[in-house]
A and B are shown apart, each in its own frame.
Chain A
Amino acid sequence: MERGIAVAFSSIPEGGAMGAEEKVKVRVMVAIDDSGESFYSLQWVLDHVFGSQNNDEYLLNIIHVIELFPSYVLPGAPAVFPSTSIVRSVNKAQEENASAIITRAIDMCTQRNQVHINTSIIEGDPKEMICGVAEQMKVDLIVIGSRGFGKIKRALMGSVSNYVIHHAKCPVLVVKMPTSKAESLNA
Chain B
Amino acid sequence: MDKSVMVVGIDDSDHSLYALEWTLEHFFSTAPGKSPFKLVVVHAKPSATTAVGLTGPGAAEVLPYVERDLKIIAARVMEKSKEICAAKSVKDVIVEAVEGDPRNALCDAVDKHNATVLVVGSHGYGAIKRAVLGSVSDYCAHHAHCSVLIVKKPRKTAH
Question: Contact residues of A with B, CB < 8 Å?
Answer: 26, 41, 44, 48-49, 51-52, 54, 140-141, 151, 161-162, 165-166, 168-176
Q: Is the interface of A mostly helix, strand, loop or mixed?
A: mixed
Across-interface contacts of A173 in B (CB, < 8 A): 117, 147-150
Residue B146 at the chain A interface, CB threshold 8 Å = yes
The chain A residue sitting closest to B26, CB to CB, is A26
Contact A170 B152 (CB under 8 A): yes
Can you report 25 residue pairs joining A to B where beta carbons are below 8 Å apart?
A26-B26, A41-B147, A44-B147, A48-B116, A52-B31, A141-B26, A165-B137, A165-B138, A165-B141, A168-B152, A169-B152, A169-B154, A170-B154, A171-B22, A171-B151, A172-B149, A172-B150, A173-B150, A174-B147, A174-B149, A174-B150, A176-B144, A176-B146, A176-B147, A176-B148
Across-interface contacts of B158 in A (CB, < 8 A): 169
Residue B36 at the chain A interface, CB threshold 8 Å = yes
The chain B residue sitting closest to A173, CB to CB, is B149
Q: In whole Å, how far is A41's beta carbon from the nearest beta carbon of chain B?
A: 8
Residue of B4, B26, B137 most packed against chain A (CB within 10 A): B26
Across-interface contacts of A140 in B (CB, < 8 A): 26
Q: In whole Å, how far is A130's beta carbon from the nearest beta carbon of chain B?
A: 14
Query: In the complex, A54→B27 CA distance in Å?
Result: 13
Question: Contact residues of B with A, CB < 8 Å?
Answer: 4, 22, 26-27, 30-31, 34, 36-37, 116-117, 127, 137-138, 141-142, 144-152, 154, 158
Quick one: given A48-B36, A171-B22, are A54 and B149 in contact (CB under 8 Å)? no
Q: In whole Å, how far is A63's beta carbon from the nearest beta carbon of chain B?
A: 18
The chain B residue sitting closest to A51, CB to CB, is B36
Contact B26 A165 (CB under 8 A): no
Contact A54 B30 (CB under 8 A): yes
Query: In the complex, A170→B146 CA distance in Å?
Result: 20
Q: In whole Å, how far is B90's beta carbon from the nearest beta carbon of chain A?
A: 15
Contact B138 A175 (CB under 8 A): no
Query: In the complex, A180→B99 CA distance in Å?
Result: 31
Q: In whole Å, how far is A135's beta carbon from the nearest beta carbon of chain B?
A: 10
Across-interface contacts of A44 in B (CB, < 8 A): 147
Q: 10 shortest A-B CB distances, which residue pairs?
A: A171-B151, A173-B149, A175-B147, A174-B148, A172-B150, A51-B36, A176-B147, A52-B30, A174-B141, A165-B150
Other than A165-B137, A169-B154, A173-B117, give 15 A-B pairs with Cβ distance below 8 A. Answer: A26-B26, A48-B117, A52-B31, A52-B36, A54-B31, A141-B26, A165-B138, A168-B152, A170-B152, A171-B22, A171-B150, A173-B150, A174-B148, A174-B149, A176-B147
Query: In the complex, A168→B154 CA distance in Å?
Result: 11
Query: In the complex, A44→B4 CA distance in Å?
Result: 12
Query: In the complex, A169→B147 CA distance in Å?
Result: 19
Across-interface contacts of B34 in A (CB, < 8 A): 52
The chain B residue sitting closest to A41, CB to CB, is B147
Query: In the complex, A25→B102 CA distance in Å?
Result: 33
Across-interface contacts of B31 in A (CB, < 8 A): 52, 54
